[in-house]
Chain A
């Protein structure tokens, strides 16, 4: 199957039961329509104008806690008999130090490889037999064990989930399996130009010593060195009820689900010591723009990443930045996509992203462009990155704001959508009125706000430019652009020697 759009980011409406109905405008047109004969053409000279936006009814978040103080956030959603239960631990890769890059990711992967009285195969068999989905994964700021299950099997699945989260056994032979699996994945990452571009960009921004400069899975070197005790001690340091929360979304009620959660998680006690905290060093912005080329001989496209360190999730400029990025590179009609794809046809899709984390994550503009248009694409990228520093016209601003605000209900449609929203609220300490004031905060953003944050956070003259492509074809024309000094990196520079 081939798809029109490369970036298929879908935020879709979903709120609990509300019958908003069609408003007066539609009713009026209905009357009009019924008076037309079936074969008579309607007036197509103007597009129909939408009526008043339907009321946004946000899901109600019930905030409870278990007897050991573990918070439980519950949203009832009764359309489909499924439920999502996530145990969220409020620490991830960002707290790793020195030679331990990758320990959070490997620890999470090991949770399912033996827990309670069950082996890895027994856990998988039990979960698959229930028609459930159970996974454990870590990001920079959190680690989560996530269960998605038909509600009829919830009571059978939760105790298995609790074993995995609270009683992992970390068998040595399973660690060896995971290690080989990961070393091979790290080897395979070298095949994928998009993966190379992402890793190179992070490395260039933060350097190899900063946690954000190395992929969450770590390196071959660290992966080879981990022992069972590394995982056990990392696990013990972050898996604590005073460093966690439960999120439940689906076809359950509090009365039904809380006793189940209490018996599975209520006896969990914190180990001695205190919660861990991340301490990431600050990074200086470069004085001049630099171009980094990673050679991929024969590649039909060049993977491009352009940008620098952006903002943390706690930025007071969150809402103006959302509007800015929507207009620059998030929506289909955004400037980058419209220019590089629709006007020039250099790419299947161009975009930009503010990756917001607890500390300032990267901002980047990105595209895969055809090899013989690489330098032309760089020129167009910088045209748009510089252009967005000027005031955004009113029509474009309104479109960007509407695109975010009017689609907001879509972020609350399915159990997975809602639980993701709640996870963010917990991990980043979003205020209680965050969801209910979101739309009005977007609507309040002005053209001056957008220009102010563009000028504050986008510095095209000092951006890092990463290009992964066929060096002998692309380098001479990039050189001729005089964007800045060119440095050459190899895949080994980025991922280390082949494992």
Chain B
């Protein structure tokens, strides 16, 4: 997910309306308090009384990258099991109690982390804290092989629906396999492989919980219409009996680099061929990461971007083109994706893409191209402030910043990464990170009719 993690904030009074060109960075304020319980759980509180709701947002610092190669998909299957009841919550009650209180919840798993949220009217905050703490402390009390089986089938259907039965859905898992060598924790997809999902056992689930779901491997953000002092007392009340667990051992990640062009063509139930070009790029927040976000905009963000303008608007040989820096903790990947119009070939698209890529590697982008991108990035920081809970809401962003930088309020630093960029930085990043002779080239083509 692109820039899944990002900022926080509240901004001061808005500037007056004026016929002025896009302007300087806004003043930003983020108020929070934080503390760590004796069991290692880190807690961050953020007040926002604009609506009478509260959110409980929990990140466990474990994702599919911690899985054993024969048990891919386990981190995500485990995420599903966190809703199936715990020591003091019978199966079904987690959702029933929350719905009866006007709450809603969801969770997601990436390579690097698993995040959970519970949104409630603020009068039901304690119920949310109770439920979150009970599964953190007592999940295994009610976990049975039958529970694992039930969600195993659901997750297999998630895989069918979101990957196997979706047009081009098998492309992203294939790209991961091509970009990262066997044994690298980003080689396999978060959703996992079917045989591994079949093989996942109750014991695997128990082991995973004991190893990775200790409170010291989590961070909790409670935000919204809350009183910080009372909320702290409630968090201490409900989370203090969650037992201390082991620290996950540090991982050693093999260094990766592409040394040549790797090509592959796969067939899918689609009408039109699609090209994916992919590179290994710097991790989230590392030097080069912000530059590549802007490279993506210059190449394929909006009608005036170089690739859209040529491929879709002028030549009309592509139906769509996109580019993005897929940021992650260990390593990122940069992708350019384009679909051929009927009667046109992938070779035609690739020729134009490489011309534009090489042009960006030779010459700086214009000042306007850079400003246009930066203005949109800055505006997106505001937009991400509009919602408190849920995926990408303020609480989720606070947790993301804390998890990745140690600073819950990294908004200014994040935005300043972009504001510091000049056209020559963009060219340098395109040159250094996107060589045409060291990358992955994947084509998804229509399957041949029997």
Interface residues of A (CB under 8 A from B): 1-6, 8, 10-23, 25-27, 29-30, 32-34, 36, 38-42, 44-45, 47-57, 78-82, 120-121, 124-125, 128-132, 148-156, 177, 180-181, 184-185, 187-188, 190-193, 251-252, 256-257, 260, 296, 298-301, 331-333, 338, 341-348, 368-370, 398-400, 402-403, 405-407, 409-410, 412-416
Contact = CB atoms under 8 A, between A and B. Distances in A.
A82 to B, nearest CB: 5
A413 B165 contact: no
B22 A130 contact: yes
7 nearest A-B residue pairs (beta carbon): A406-B102, A345-B153, A131-B379, A54-B52, A33-B237, A13-B53, A81-B14
B271 A191 contact: yes
Interface in B253-310: 269-272, 301-304, 309
Nearest to B189: A2
A130 B375 contact: yes
Given A184-B341, A370-B156, A402-B102, A301 B49 contact: no
Contacts of A6: 158, 161
Contact of A14 (B50, B103, B104): B50
A39 B23 contact: no
B196 interface: no
B109 A2 contact: yes
B238 interface: yes
B135 to A, nearest CB: 12
27 contacts: A6-B161, A13-B51, A18-B52, A21-B227, A26-B123, A29-B234, A29-B237, A36-B237, A44-B130, A47-B131, A49-B127, A81-B26, A121-B303, A124-B303, A128-B304, A131-B22, A151-B17, A152-B22, A181-B312, A184-B319, A192-B166, A257-B17, A296-B269, A300-B165, A348-B158, A409-B52, A409-B121
Given A12-B387, A79-B10, A81-B15, 9 more contacts: A4-B79, A34-B233, A42-B237, A78-B14, A82-B379, A301-B165, A343-B150, A345-B153, A415-B386
A81 B97 CA distance: 36
A301 to B, nearest CB: 5
A13 B300 CA distance: 35
B187 interface: no
Contacts, number: 352
Contact of B123 (A51, A299, A407): A51
A22 B125 contact: yes
Interface stretch (B87-95, B399-407, B415-423): B87-95
B36 interface: no
Nearest to B377: A131
A341 B88 contact: no
Given A15-B51, A22-B227, A129 B368 contact: yes
A369 B10 CA distance: 44
Nearest to A19: B49
Given A22-B227, A129-B375, A403-B102, A79 B50 contact: yes
Nearest to B53: A13
A48 B304 CA distance: 55
Contact of B52 (A13, A154, A341, A403): A13
Contacts of A152: 14-15, 17-18, 20, 22-23
B348 interface: no
Given A38-B240, A181-B319, A407-B104, A129 B372 contact: yes
Nearest to B111: A1
Contact of A187 (B93, B230, B272, B382): B272
B272 A184 contact: yes
B96 A399 contact: yes
Interface in B209-228: 225-227
B269 to A, nearest CB: 6
A257 B137 CA distance: 53
B385 interface: yes
Interface string B113-145: 000000111111111011100100010000000
Given A18-B49, A36-B237, A333 B92 contact: yes
Contact of A129 (B22, B154, B166): B22
Contact of B165 (A57, A131, A368): A368
Given A128-B304, A341-B154, A56 B52 contact: yes
A13 B160 contact: no
B371 interface: yes
A55 B99 CA distance: 19
B49 A22 contact: no
Contact of A38 (B38, B389, B390): B38
B241 interface: yes
A6 B159 CA distance: 11
B101 interface: yes
Most buried by A among B138, B303, B390: B303
B164 to A, nearest CB: 5
Contacts of A11: 104
Contact of A4 (B89, B106, B126): B106
A260 B17 contact: yes
A300 B160 contact: yes
B341 A129 contact: no
Given A29-B234, A184-B341, A348-B154, A370 B160 contact: yes
B183 interface: no
Contact of A413 (B51, B109, B372, B383): B51
B106 A5 contact: yes
A85 B157 CA distance: 40
A252 B13 CA distance: 11
B206 interface: no
Given A19-B225, A79-B50, A191-B167, A151 B378 contact: no
Contacts of B225: 19-21, 54
Contacts of A251: 14
A259 to B, nearest CB: 9
A406 B4 CA distance: 29
A82 B380 CA distance: 10
B117 to A, nearest CB: 10
Interface string B357-383: 000000000001001100110111011
A78 B386 CA distance: 10
A181 B308 CA distance: 13
Given A1-B1, A300-B160, A370-B160, A156 B303 contact: no
Contact of A150 (B16, B110, B230, B382): B382
Contacts of B87: 44
B19 interface: yes
Nearest to B64: A2
Contacts of A32: 237
A12 B119 contact: yes
A393 B388 CA distance: 34
B96 to A, nearest CB: 5
B246 interface: no
A124 B305 CA distance: 10
B191 interface: yes
Nearest to A185: B319
Contacts of B4: 1
A126 B233 CA distance: 51
A489 B121 CA distance: 47
Given A1-B190, A301-B160, A121 B11 contact: no
B106 A8 contact: yes
Contacts of B272: 184, 187-188
A56 B121 CA distance: 10
A299 to B, nearest CB: 6
Contacts of A54: 52, 121-123, 225
A43 to B, nearest CB: 9
Contacts of B53: 12-14, 409-410, 413
A398 B97 CA distance: 11
Nearest to B124: A50
Given A132-B379, A151-B14, A251-B14, A190 B271 contact: yes
B412 interface: no
A55 to B, nearest CB: 7
A33 B233 contact: yes
B385 A79 contact: yes
A407 B119 CA distance: 9
